[in-house]
Every structure is written in C-alpha cells, then in structure tokens.
Amino acid sequence: MERFTRSFFYATKGLLFALRNEKNFQIEIIVAVFVIFLMFLFPLSGSERSLLLLSIVLVLTLELANTALERVMDILKPRIHPYARVIKDVMAGAVLLATFSAIAIGLVIFSPYFFTSFHL
C-alpha cells in the first residue's frame, strides 16, 4: 500500500508541475472545465458524456507526454541529435491532432443544443 501511496504522490506532483509550468496544459484544463460545465448544462446521453470525457483525457494525457518528452530532449541539448527537433515536433503534432479531434467531437455533440437554445 505504501508503494501505491508513493506512486500516487509522485503522479500528483507531475500533474501539478505541468499545471504550474505548462501554458498549453493550463489552457487545456480551462477548456476541459468549460466542457464539463456544458455537460451538466445540456441533457447529453451517457455515450456523449463518455466521448467528451475520453477526448478531454486524451488531449491532457498527450500534453503530459509531450511535456515529459520535451524535458528529456532538453536534457540532451548539449549533445542534441538532429532528430530531437523532429521528435518534439511529431509529439506536438500528436497533441494538435487530438485537440482538433476533441474540438470536432465537441462541435458535433454540442451544436444541436446551441442551435436549439439560441434559435440559430
């Protein structure tokens, strides 16, 4: 049990580090909170809620992985390999792709409610 508690503590430290130091993670958290608020505001199905939560978690998880990878690459900077920039760019691309996917999912799910609510 002590190992689990210690693991949980270190994982929490990692999340707090990203929250304090990563601007993109901060923005994504704000957007996630807004989406979760909308989930309670509109009568979404369980599947819609699950899909939105999965999208949020995917974007945040990829952002954390991107942060970790960038830190590793920064450690290697004095001996940087030309592929280091490519690796960082590919990981950032993965976050961007997940973000666009999450936006598309959000638009598909929320647009009928916005059109109905605002008579658009």
Active site residue ranges: 63
Long-range CB contacts (within 8 A, 24+) of 84-87? none
Q: DSSP of 4-63, one letter per residue?
A: HHHHHHHHHHHHHHHHHH-HHHHHHHHHHHHHHHHHHHTT--HHHHHHHHHHHHHHHHHH
The CA-based diameter of the chain, rounded to the nearest angstrom, is: 59
